[in-house]
Every structure is written in C-alpha cells, then in structure tokens.
Amino acid sequence: GEVATMMDVPITKVISVCMSLGIMVTMNQRLDAETLTIVADEFGYEVEFITTDIEEAIQVVEDKEEDLVHRAPIVTVMGHVDHGKTSLLDYIRKENVIAGESGGITQHIGAYGVTLDNGQKIAFLDTPGHEAFTAMRARGAQITDIAIVVIAADDDIMPQTKEAINHAQAAGVPIIFAINKVDKPTANPEKIKERLAGMNLLVEDWGGKIQSHDISAKTGLGVKDLLEKVLLEAEILDLKANPEKAAVGTVVEAFLDKGRGYISTVLVQGGTLKLGDYVLAGKHHGKVKAMHDERGNSIKVAGPSTPISILGLDGAPTAGDKFSVFQDEKEAKQIAAKRTQLMREQSVRTQRHITLAEIGRRIALGQFKELNIILKGDVDGSVEALSDSFSKLSTEEIQINIIHKGVGAITESDVLLASASDAIIIGFNVRPSASARQLADKEEIDIRNYSIIYDAIDDLKDAMEGMLSPEM
C-alpha cells in the first residue's frame, strides 16, 4: 500500500506485479529490499535505500593487528533461580580485591572488575541471568565473552539451567559450569555431570571439552580455581582490543541520581575512555565530567574490558546501547538527533524479524540459509517428537536449528531469545503469557500455536516451499 502511494499507482497493480513474481501479498504486507527493487522497476522507478543502521553513520576504525593487545574476559553468571548466581557474584566481589586495596567492592554499578593474585583481570556483569544477557543481544549488543552457568549440586538440571545453556549457545558464547553448593551433605556433583552428559554436554571429567568446577559460593571453596578456568577459556578465545583509539563500548545500566544527574555504567570494549571525552551513547550525549570504578575511586582513563560509571550525559541511555567518543561535539549532537528520528521511523516501518509466511520467499531469493526455531510444548514427548521432525526437514538450501526447546508456556525470555536470534516460536498446546504476547507484538516475533503435530510439520514444510497460505 505504501509503495503504491509513493509511486502513485493503484494498489491492485502492485499486487498483480507481485503475483506475477510468484509472491502473494496483501496491501499491508511489507516487501523486502529485492522485491521492492523489482516492483519499483516494473513501474519505472528506482529505489534508493537509506540506511537505518545508524552504526554505519559512525566511522568504524579498523584495528591493525600490531595495535591489538590482550584484554580481560567479560563474564555473565547464569543459572536456575536459587542455584547461587548472586552468592557467587557476591563472594567474588568481596574476596577478590586488588592486592593492597582494603575492603571489597562497595558500589553496585552493574558490572565490576577483579584482579587475581597473578595480576590478571576479569570483568563481571553484575546482573545475573540469561534474560539480561539475551535482552542485551536483542538490542544488538553482545558483550559477554564467557558464561558461567551455576548448577546447585543438591538439585538437578532445572528448566532455567537448560534455558541458560541454550541462550549462551545461541549466542555462541562458551560455557563454564560451576557446580555449586558442594558444602552441603546432600550435594551430588557427579549426578549433575552425568545429567549434563545425557544432554550431550560433556565436561572435562567426563572426557569432554567443557570446563566445569565444583564450588561453594558460601564458603568460597573452588571459586579461585573456577576463575582460573575462566582465564584459561579467555586465553583460548584470544581476546584482544586496541587501547590506543577513541573509546567504544556498551552501556550496562543508567539511572538518574537526584544530586548528581545521569549516571551511566559503560563497559569499554575498545580504545580508552578519558575524562573530558565527548561521548555519544544511544540517543544521549555529553562530556564525561567524572568517572568512577566499582570501588568508588575517581578514575581518569579506562581501557578495554573496564566497567566504569560516568557522569555527564544529558539523559539515561538504555542498557545495550553502544557508545562512542567524538572529537567534535557538533557531530555527536547531529548523530544523536538522527538516531532519535530513525528510532521513531524504525518502530513504525521495518519488519525486523522472520515470519513463517516469509520463509519461502526468502529461501527463493537465496539469502536465507538457516531457520531458527524456539519450541515450547505441554509435555516432553511432544516437544521431542516435534523437534525431531523439524530437524529432519532441513534441506541443502536451509538448515533448521532448534535453538531452544522446553516444556511450559511461552515466556518473555523465549521472545527475547527469538528477537536476539531472529527465530520464530512454535507452541504446542501452550500459549504465550500475556507479557510474552505483548513483547512479541512489539518485537514482531512470529508465534505459532498448534495442537496437532502434523499441522505444525505441514505448515513448516509448506512455508519452506513458499506454499504457506496466508493466515486468516
């Protein structure tokens, strides 16, 4: 409809051109770039695409190999509720203080850094859980290098343990298991490892490659060794950054302090942030008036993998917003204004995520190679049956990935994962919660509900062949 108006031709003509291309559309349907180009060409128009990716507007400095130096790993702690995520983060916060510095970390700024005895550093994100992790990813920010998945040894692999594992894997972030609460007499770490093996997750003791360590977040037993393993994993990942450039990074949290103004915690990912730098973060900007670390110390420079709270922005950016430093204040302000405008337009215009109805067309256009599916069902049997059948539908052209499956209602966390991984959600005899439904509408995530296994399989098959009839 919108395209027809722009070209000043009847809507029916646009629809019939689409039909002649084998594309069934309605007037409210959005067309992808290729289709738009072809349709416009039919009417003698040329399409000019204006980038909505604002990051392109910002000059990306390519780092030279010789400028890169090692940087500390950035770690997120995940796991089932009550398995000890907070306790672990608290223990590390209290015990691992920089040599010679008295007292632990006093400020909660959303992230903190620790220095081990050997001088090596690790940065922790202080909001545990895979929801926060995936919410960041859904906003286009991946800052976590390594995920510690905490599992209570006196319990079992629980639904949120599985979720955490799947969310980390969907992001391609390596996992280290922390088998917790081994101080308890009822703890059975071997059972946990056996269960993990049953899920095809082989830890070292079981001859696998995944690191794991038995710990007690309460007594601190094994925590130091766990951190050593984090450093080992980091070494394998060969994490590097260029400290010698204007800083870039991601916002971890931000809030308004009544006395001091907007305080934002950022994680520097490249370059070095300096006092007095002019910063653009999301749609907010300002000169860095003060910087503090998690110990409340005033800081003048912050290099890669350093979490730091800054004072001076003209508002509170959102967690997951990127930040960058500008030489020129005017330029930063212009980009901030452009971003605000683009965000407004983007929210009404773009179709951001894949839908089942779109798949066939995208496959036909040859650019769609992988379909990510999140599968939720009422019982384990049907989830497994569907997951098997879906996987078997993979063809040479398209690979089907079940990035997460589980028993229970479709939750916000599922929708976030779909958004972060461009997946569709299939529910079998389960419905989304009200909040999940709302989020799915906002993020434009396709949720399909089925109660007959063959219907689900047929729909997916039809969609892949571009034969799915539009939903009524």
Q: Report whether 130 belongs to an annotated binding site.
A: yes
185 is in an annotated binding site: no
Query: For residues 140 and 173, what is the distance between their CA atoms, to the nearest angstrom?
Result: 15
Of residues 182-201, those binding ligand GDP (CB under 6 A): 183-184
14 carries a ligand binding annotation: no
- Minimal distance, residue 79 CB to ligand GDP, in Å: 6
Nearer to ligand GDP, 180 or 269 (CB): 180
Binding mask 128-167 for ligand GDP (x = CB under 6 A): x---------------------------------------
Q: Is 378 among the residues that bind ligand GDP (CB under 6 A)? A: no
- CA proximity to 182, closest of 220, 227, 129: 220
Q: Does 83 bind ligand GDP (CB under 6 A)?
A: yes
Retrieve residue 193's tokens: 């490892």
- Interface stretch with ligand GDP, choices 26-34, 216-224, 286-294, 295-303 (CB under 6 A): 216-224
* C-alpha distance from residue 227 to each of 47, 288, 467 (Å): 53, 32, 52
Minimum distance, C-beta of residue 417 to ligand GDP, in the bound complex (Å): 19
Which residue is associated with the tokens 């550093």? 121
Cα atoms in the Cβ-side hemisphere of radius 13 Å centred on 375: 26
Torsion of CA 385, 388, 389, 390, to 10 degrees: 120
Instruction: Tell me how far, at minimum, the Cβ of 194 lies from ligand GDP, in Å.
Output: 20
- Selected from 139, 167, 181, 361, the binder of ligand GDP by CB under 6 A is 181
Check binding of 222 to ligand GDP (CB under 6 A): no
- Look up tokens 């650019």; give the residue: 367
Is 52 within any annotated ligand binding site? no
Using the rule CB under 6 A, give the single segment among 85-93, 245-253, 344-352, 435-443 that binds ligand GDP.
85-93
> Which helix or strand (DSSP H or E) is residue 149 part of?
strand 146-152
Measured CA to CA in angstroms, residue 387 lies from 170, 306, 376, 393, 462 at distances of 16, 41, 10, 10, 17
Number of residues that bind ligand GDP (CB under 6 A): 16
Distance of CA 48 to the CA centre of its chain: 31
Query: Which CB, 6 or 81, lies closer to ligand GDP?
Result: 81
Residue 79 annotated as part of some ligand binding site: yes
Q: Return the residue of 63, 82, 331, 462 that touches ligand GDP, per CB under 6 A.
A: 82
Cα distance between residue 320 and residue 125, in whole Å = 12
Which amino acid is located at 206 in the chain?
A: W
Closer Cβ to ligand GDP, 184 or 437, answer by number: 184
C-beta closer to ligand GDP: residue 81 or 199 = 81
Provide, rounded to whole angstroms, the least separation between the CB of residue 158 and ligand GDP: 11
224 binds ligand GDP (CB under 6 A): no
Binding flag, residue 87, ligand GDP (CB under 6 A)? yes
Shortest reach from residue 319's CB to ligand GDP, in Å: 19
429 is in an annotated binding site: no
Can you point out the beta strands (E) in 192-270? 211-214, 240-241, 248-257, 261-270
Q: Which residue has the tokens 């095809």?
A: 200
| Residue 24 or 158 with smaller CB distance to ligand GDP | 158
Q: Which residue in the set 3, 76, 84, 189 belongs to the binding site for ligand GDP (CB under 6 A)?
A: 84
Minimum Å gap between C-beta 185 and ligand GDP is 10
Closest approach of ligand GDP to the CB of residue 141, in Å: 23
Instruction: Give CA separation, 183 vs 217, 228, 274, in Å.
Output: 9, 20, 45
x-or-dash pattern for ligand GDP, window 51-80, by CB under 6 A?
----------------------------x-
d(CA 430, CA 378): 6
Residues 6+ apart with CB under 8 A from 288: 273, 274, 275, 276, 277, 278, 279, 310, 311, 312
What are the distances in angstroms from CA 392 to CA 39, 82, 358, 387, 427? Answer: 35, 37, 20, 9, 18
Cross-strand bridge partners of residue 178: 150, 213
Shortest separation between residue 153's beta carbon and ligand GDP, angstroms? 9
Q: State the distance between the two ends of the chain, measured CA to CA, in whole angstroms.
A: 19
Q: Is 128 annotated as a binding residue?
A: yes
Quick one: 82 or 378, whose CB is closer to ligand GDP?
82
Among 85, 93, 213, 362, the residue binding ligand GDP under the rule CB under 6 A is: 85
Look up residue 319 and give its two tokens: 């967690």
Q: What is d(CA 53, CA 32) in angstroms, rounded to the nearest whole number?
A: 16
Instruction: Write out the binding residues.
Output: 79-86, 126-130, 180-183
> Under the rule (CB under 6 A), what is the footprint of ligand GDP?
79, 81-87, 128, 180-181, 183-184, 216-218
Instruction: Write out the binding residues for GTP.
Output: 79-86, 126-130, 180-183
